[in-house]
Amino acid sequence: MLKLIFSDGLRAITPLLWIVFIVNSMALYFLQNWLPILMEGVGINPQSAGIITTMFSVGGVLGGLILCRFVDRHGVLAIISLPAIGCPVVAFLGHGMSEAWLMFAVFATGFCVVGAQYGL
């Protein structure tokens, strides 16, 4: 069975997929577990932090459902695009954003990170 995933040009792509999957899993678990604490750290009250953090999961479910259609049509290109979009959004989480923009940014982060995990 292992011979199949390393044959016919898959020798390089298989370990790359494993690495991307592991790194994306780490980002997903970090964000899911630490997002409420990060929100409180930027001054959001605990109730709003919980609601904003929920948007991460909501964005992830929608991202996963939508990405699956794009993966069927466009292949790996769809998966590559999400980290390219998600990384800058994650980098700016909490930097002088209103709660509404923060909620949208967390939704977009969930869409990209969890969506990429589904696609992988």
Ordered by start, the domain boundaries in the chain are 19-119
pLDDT band at 57 (very low <50, low <70, confident <90, very high): very high
Checking if the pLDDT of 95 tops 80, the result is no
Strand locations in 16-117 (E): none
Q: Residue 59's pLDDT is what?
A: 94
Mean pLDDT in residue range 105-112: 91
Share the mean pLDDT of the chain.
84
Q: Residue 43's pLDDT is what?
A: 85
Percent of the chain with pLDDT over 70: 99
Q: Residue 61's pLDDT is what?
A: 93
Amino acid at 45: N
Contact 103, 55 (CB under 8 A): yes
Mean pLDDT in residue range 56-80: 85
Mean pLDDT in residue range 4-32: 85
Write the CB contacts of 119 (distance below 8 Å, at least 6 apart in sequence): 64, 67, 68, 70, 71, 78, 79, 82
- pTM, two decimal places: 0.83
Checking if the pLDDT of 83 tops 90, the result is no
